[in-house]
Amino acid sequence: MTDQLLDAAEFRTTVRAFANREIHPGAAFRDETREFPAELVKRLGEQDLMGISVPEEFGGLGLSTKTQLIAIEEVARTDAALASIYTAHYLGLEPILVGGTEEQKCRWLPRLASGELLAGFALTEPDAGSDIASMRTTARREDDGWHLSGSKTYISNAKEADLVVLFAKTDPSAGFRGITAFVLPRNTPGVSYSEPQDKLGIRSAPTYTVYLDDVVLPHDAVVGTEGRGGNIALTALNRARIDVAAMANGIALRAWELGRSYAAERKQFGHPIAEFQAIQLLLGACDAQLVASRVTADWAADVKDAGADLRRAASVSKYVATEACFSIVDQTVQIHGGAGFMRESEIERLYRDCRILRIFEGTSQIQLLTIASNAPSPRSTDF
Ligand SMILES: Cc1cc2nc3c(=O)[nH]c(=O)nc-3n(C[C@H](O)[C@H](O)[C@H](O)COP(=O)(O)OP(=O)(O)OC[C@H]3O[C@@H](n4cnc5c(N)ncnc54)[C@H](O)[C@@H]3O)c2cc1C
């Protein structure tokens, strides 16, 4: 094994041991109670997992995106809800990393990368989901700062995060080019939150509607420059979509493990069901889908780290992994028979948890549209 592979294997073993020991045992309870796992979020920071691919000059570990994917996979394998909080943190720090000024990077990234601060990302509005240019939240420049009014919805970590990067229109007539990104610290006067939204899955990862009632932010709260927010949002989303692919791969890996062990234990017609070819075909298909998804995510991670255009690779990785995850979890429920439909079974939770993956950070349809519009020319050899 090369040093790199050895390091990756060691890293996975370390994170898996931590996740098995500290995350997995309480996951079902947190799903039941919808309790935000504040202590575990702190532990992720203590394990040096909150800024894995953030450059060392900004306080991160400066490791590859592939390494970050390993950590996300392992967290998702034990608790998809915690993985959602975790990936929302990475999504929240990305706008500062890709669009912030040097001063903003130095000010915020080291504390985010160490886990001292938790981040969030507030783009979606009640009437602006896939179509971000139609957002209605506005920010008006006054002498005392920017005045923000409007609302955001489905925002992960909104109330728990120490800062949220929030997008608003600074020039409502300019569509996509009129969007600006702002750093919104917690407890800023004028910000209020709904109750945590009641959800099908990832129930201990809270989302909120956020209300902005003439919120005043300093002039230097603008991430980068005015009018670049749309671009920053899409760049951050592209980068973070690979993290969602890793989250899908972690859930799918756990489903496959559960399917294999259930098939080995469950006997019908005098045999473990694992001996029936029909079950072997399901497990074989799950394995093949998972291998393909992981290879695809690693490819997208390499494209990102090479600094190449990420739009197609990020969307391919998210689409492939999240669709595969849903299929793998569904087939694993099938392997469990009636037991897989019961609240007490882990696969039932995974079935609910994985449904969100095909919706957030761009639905599967939006990924396909992105892939289609960024496909290489048929004459290109870059396929
Ligand atoms: C649990 C959860 C957590 C979330 N966390 C965050 C967060 O932290 N920050 C944040 O900003 N947002 C967050 N979101 C919002 C999420 O990103 C959006 O829900 C998602 O982008 C889809 O937007 P929408 O719900 O408005 O659906 P819509 O955009 O209204 O789409 C509805 C349907 O129409 C389809 N559709 C839309 N446009 C097209 C088109 N042009 N062509 C074909 N089909 C189309 C979609 O694929 C979908 O099937 C979260 C959502 C959930 C549920």
Q: Residues 51-109: pLDDT tens digits?
A: 999 999 999 999 999 999 999 999 999 999 999 999 999 999 999 999 999 999 999 99
For tokens 């203590």, the residue is 46
| Residue from 359, 361, 370 whose mutation best tests the ligand 1 pocket (most atoms within 8 A of CB) | 359
In the chain the domains, ranked by start, together with CATH numbers, are 3-118 (1.10.540.10), 120-227 (2.40.110.10), 231-373 (1.20.140.10)
Cα–Cα distance measured from residue 6 to residue 99, given in angstroms and rounded to the nearest whole number: 34
Q: Parallel, antiparallel, or unpaired for β 267-268 and 271-272?
A: antiparallel
Which ligand 1 atom sits closest to the C-alpha of 92?
8
pTM value? 0.97
CA geometry: angle at 246 spanning 241 and 248, to 5°? 95
Judge whether 125 counts as a catalytic residue.
Answer: no
pLDDT value, residue 287: 98
Residue-wise pLDDT tens digits, 266-276: 999 999 999 99
> Does 164 score more than 70 pLDDT?
yes
Cα–Cα distance measured from residue 311 to residue 368, given in angstroms and rounded to the nearest whole number: 11
Query: What's 20's DSSP letter?
Result: I
> Does 294 score more than 70 pLDDT?
yes
Q: Tell me if 124 CB under 6 Å of ligand 1.
A: yes
CA distances from 376 to 273, 363, 366, 372, 379 (A): 45, 22, 18, 9, 8
Cα–Cα distance measured from residue 272 to residue 265, given in angstroms and rounded to the nearest whole number: 6
Residue-wise pLDDT tens digits, 94-107: 999 999 999 999 99
Q: Tell me if 366 CB under 6 Å of ligand 1.
A: yes
Instruction: Please report, as a single letter, which amino acid is at residue 177.
Output: R
Which ligand 1 atom sits closest to the C-alpha of 366?
47
Q: Tell me if 20 CB under 6 Å of ligand 1.
A: no
Mean pLDDT of the 35-48 span: 98
Cα–Cα distance measured from residue 147 to residue 138, given in angstroms and rounded to the nearest whole number: 8
For ligand 1, atom 21: residue with the closest CA: 362
CA distances from 102 to 96, 105, 163, 165, 223 (A): 9, 5, 18, 16, 10
Residue 163, strand partner residues? 119, 185
For tokens 């494209």, the residue is 303
